[in-house]
Amino acid sequence: MSPIALTDSELHEVRQAAQMVPYDLRRVFLERLALELRGKDLGAGLVHRIAFEVARTITWDAERAAS
């Protein structure tokens, strides 16, 4: 998989969303995020929306699995 070029503001959004994700699941978060962003016309708003959707899904799944 080739790297995705992010601007400083887009990278900031990714970092903010990653804080929601348990540390041991951050690699999964980044992999899923990369898949979701691939081929899209990126911008800070889109990266924010998708990053937080992916983070919420991973966090929710982890909480469900723990209970």
* Alpha-carbon gap, residue 20 to 37, rounded angstroms: 19
Please say if the pLDDT value at position 1 is more than 70.
Answer: no
The mean pLDDT value for 4-29 works out to 95
- Burial pattern 44-64, b for ≥16 Cβ within 10 A else e, equals eeebbebbeebbeebbeeeee
- Terminal C-alpha separation, the chain: 34
Is residue 1, in this structure, part of any structural domain at all? no
Is residue 3, in this structure, part of any structural domain at all? no
- Give all strands (DSSP E) within 1-67, no chain letters: none
* Alpha-carbon gap, residue 12 to 5, rounded angstroms: 13
Round the average pLDDT of the chain to a whole number and report it.
Answer: 92
Give the total number of structural domains in the chain. Answer: 1
Structural domain that includes position 23: 8-66
